[in-house]
Chain A
Amino acid sequence: MKKIILLLVIATMAFGFTYDNKVITVKGSDTMVILAQRWAEKYMESHPGITIQVTGGGSGIGLAALINGSTDIANASRPMKPSEREKLKQRYNSLGVEVKTAKDGLSVYLNEKNSVKELSIQQIKDIYTGKITNWKDVGGKDAKIIVYGRENSSGTYVYFKDNVLGGQDFTSTMQSMPGTSAVVNAIVKDANSIGFGGAAYAKGIKFAAVKKDATSKAYIPTEENIKSGNYPITRYLYLYLKTRPSGEMKDYIDWILSAEGQSIVTKVGYFPVR
């Protein structure tokens, strides 16, 4: 028995600990990729010994990378799914550490020429599930609605499906775009289109004012409306880690939540949590 224990100890020492705190890898949400890059750039300016590598791909991709150990931080624009938590528990004995870093008004984009100004949650749901296919049914001109959305690896896709469509499937006519920028670009070019994504990406398009139901007041995703809870589709933007952070990782997370880190949230176009 003693020999066996000795063997185990030697094996542990031989394999050693390989975690490297000097390079922090960040992967995940496309909604958050600009924000994460700004954080990384600013932090590296004042911490020259730290390298922070940021890539996108979608929340699902980031969380999968966190589970298989190929990233230190996963950015996600939706909460972690129970199945992802189970995988993390199995491999790391951890529920994962969730850090709410910013708030976003999940925005509904329209072309600037579109005469429609506001939509209820039910109307948005009907458009995205294929029940409403013409703008005249929501107060616009007689024209077919061109529906743009995201791919299913996107956290925005999942959040929208769960919280706006009530879990129902997207219409089969929806054109899935690889990123929020691509959605915005498509809407800029197409007067009859509709899309959704983070508030920070709204360049050259207009927001649809959103109301909870047909009788309530419609709001656009401004900081005031999001903070007050009036805008009905708000979400958090998360960082997920395998375990409780320590060392350089903890310093970085603390900095993100500091006044300096949160000021970058505002500059990029999202809303601070502190």
Chain B
Amino acid sequence: MKKFVLLFVLSLVLVARISAQEDTTKTTAEDLKAKIDELKGQVEGLNESYLETKATVDALKKIKLSGYIQAQFQSAELDGISSFSGGNFAAGLHNRFTIRRGRLKVAYDNDITNYVLQIDATEKGLGLKDAYVSFKEPWLKSFGLKAGVFDRPFGFEISYSSSSREAPERSRMYQTLFPGERDLGVSFEYAPYVPYEDFLGYFNFRGGFFAGNGVSVEVDNQKDFIGRLGFSLPFYEENLAIDGGVSMYVGGVKLAAGKSIFTVNNPTLASADTKTTYADRNYLGLDMQVYYALPLLGNFTLRGEYISGKQPGGSASSSSSPTALQTGDLYLRNFSGYYLNYVQNLGDKNQLVVKYDVYDPNTDVEGDQIGALAAAKLGAGDIKYSTLGIGLVHYWDDNIKFVFYYDSVSNETSSKLAALNSDLRDNVFTFRIQYKF
């Protein structure tokens, strides 16, 4: 009987324990399910939060901020020289610190539509560089339109960013013909959106109508046409690229009432025209860039441009393109100019730069003919210049680069011009630090 009771009690205990275990198992499974549901909810919440964040980030990614600062020290041969190496030196100064460029660019890139605003802030003040809208048609994505203030579509050197350019400044020819590089207007662009290595993809065109005064207010009713037909030929197997283009400028500069257009192409007498309303401003340009790798030395590029045409200057002492309404006589000259620029990589971090540029503002006269006779109306604005620049660029990291550069400037001389009867001492050394982001 005792055994039976003991067995009964043990059975009860066992049943109770099994039941308790079942309860515990049940509770554990329920707990787990609850925890999984909770985690699932948290993951879904996180996923929703991620999608919201992603949408915000995607929207913010369209806003692009970039810029660069070029701080530099320059030393010239003499005090107060005129220079195209970053502007004239002030009277009494032959060395200087300057912020050559302090750019900040904001762009909103919505794939086929774009907004761009760029300013230049230096110790000299604040200036507008770019302010334009651009868009591409959504079907072929090959045709685009741009309106506002932006780079003139002419040649290579204008559109080659100052932050990327190895030599500190553009050639004298470009600084004279296109001061400030930009202009106010509208341009049409054709850049075929075609499959990889499609023949059509090697060509492009940009051209449009501009005010013709640079980044200044409009001063006349005539619009200038500027355009470039370009090509870019890649030879992948040879690691060779040949780019180039043909550019054209067809425009004019308005003559003030009662003033004359002097065609200064004769060493004895300049012809005067008082009837024509606009003096011709016509250029034709050719440019080419070759990229190749030399055995042992590595990659190099050789760039060259040639421009010739008619240029109306505002005085006998200057052939620069006008940037405001002209109130005096105009001096119409046939000009030509070119540059050759060789850049040799020295490893990944260094580049050797050699640049030679020539600008002859008046190809019809030379030497002592300039300034000989008052009736010829020839002066300092007709003197030919050549510049040999040599330098080294060092890329410290992705953002910083150093430029050491020396410009050796030679000028045509005329015994009839007191200030230009010998080669001027106007060479300039530049040391520049650039930060770009």
Contacts and interface: CB of A to CB of B under 8 A. Distances in A.
Contacts of B234: 85, 95
Contact of B398 (A18, A69, A82, A162): A69
Contact of A93 (B140, B193, B197, B301): B301
Contacts of A98: 236
A126 B343 CA distance: 49
A12 B350 contact: yes
12 contacts: A4-B429, A8-B391, A8-B406, A19-B347, A69-B348, A90-B160, A92-B345, A93-B299, A95-B240, A163-B195, A242-B299, A243-B298
Contacts of B76: none
Interface string A153-173: 000000000110001010000
Contacts of B56: none
B394 interface: yes
Nearest to B401: A91
A94 B299 contact: yes
A164 to B, nearest CB: 12
A243 B232 contact: no
B32 to A, nearest CB: 21
Contacts of A169: 111
Contacts of A97: 236, 239
B348 A70 contact: no
A242 B239 CA distance: 10
Interface string A60-96: 0000000011100000000100100100011111111
Interface string B166-199: 0000000000000000000000000001011100
Interface in A1-39: 1, 4-5, 7-8, 11-12, 15, 17-19
Interface string B333-358: 00000000001111111111000000
B291 interface: yes
Given A11-B404, A15-B349, A92-B345, A167 B193 contact: yes
Interface of A: 1, 4-5, 7-8, 11-12, 15, 17-19, 68-70, 79, 82, 85, 89-98, 162-163, 167, 169, 242-244
B262 to A, nearest CB: 39
B293 A243 contact: yes
Contacts of B275: none
A94 B347 contact: no
Interface string B132-170: 000000001100000000000000000011001000000
Given A15-B350, A82-B201, A95-B236, A5 B390 contact: yes
Contacts of B427: 1
Contacts of B73: none
A5 B352 CA distance: 11
B332 interface: no
B141 A167 contact: yes
Task: Report which residue of A12, A68, A96, A97 has the largest number of chain B beta carbons within 10 angstroms of its beta carbon.
Answer: A12
B380 interface: no
Nearest to B427: A1
A92 B349 contact: no
B219 interface: no
Task: Report which residue of B111, B161, B240, B301 has the largest number of chain A beta carbons within 10 angstroms of its beta carbon.
Answer: B301
Interface string B196-234: 110001000000000000000000000000000000101
A85 B197 CA distance: 13
A12 B346 CA distance: 9
A19 B398 CA distance: 15
Contact of B196 (A8, A19, A79, A96): A79
Contacts of B160: 90
B238 to A, nearest CB: 9
Q: Provide the main secondary structure of the chain B interface.
A: strand
Given A12-B392, A167-B141, A89 B241 contact: yes
Contacts of B197: 79
Interface of B: 111, 140-141, 160-161, 164, 193, 195-197, 201, 232, 234-236, 239-241, 291, 293, 298-301, 343-352, 390-392, 394-395, 398, 404, 406, 408, 427, 429
B347 A17 contact: yes
A167 B201 CA distance: 14
A67 B301 CA distance: 17
Contacts of B406: 1, 4, 8
A90 B398 CA distance: 13
B164 A8 contact: no
Contacts of B390: 4-5, 8
Contacts of B193: 167
Contact of B301 (A15, A68, A89, A163): A89
B164 A94 contact: no
Given A8-B391, A92-B299, A162-B195, A19 B404 contact: no
Contacts of B345: 92-94, 243
A180 to B, nearest CB: 19
Nearest to A80: B196
B394 A93 contact: no
A244 B239 contact: yes
A225 to B, nearest CB: 21
A97 B240 CA distance: 9
A11 B293 contact: no
Contacts of A1: 406, 408, 427
Contact of B293 (A18, A85, A244): A244
A130 to B, nearest CB: 15
Given A7-B404, A18-B348, A93-B300, 18 more contacts: A4-B390, A8-B406, A11-B394, A15-B394, A17-B347, A79-B197, A82-B232, A92-B299, A92-B348, A93-B343, A93-B351, A94-B299, A95-B234, A95-B241, A167-B140, A169-B111, A243-B345, A244-B239
A17 B346 contact: yes
A35 B394 CA distance: 36
Contacts of A4: 390, 406, 429
Contacts of A95: 234-236, 239-241, 291
Contacts of A92: 299, 345, 348
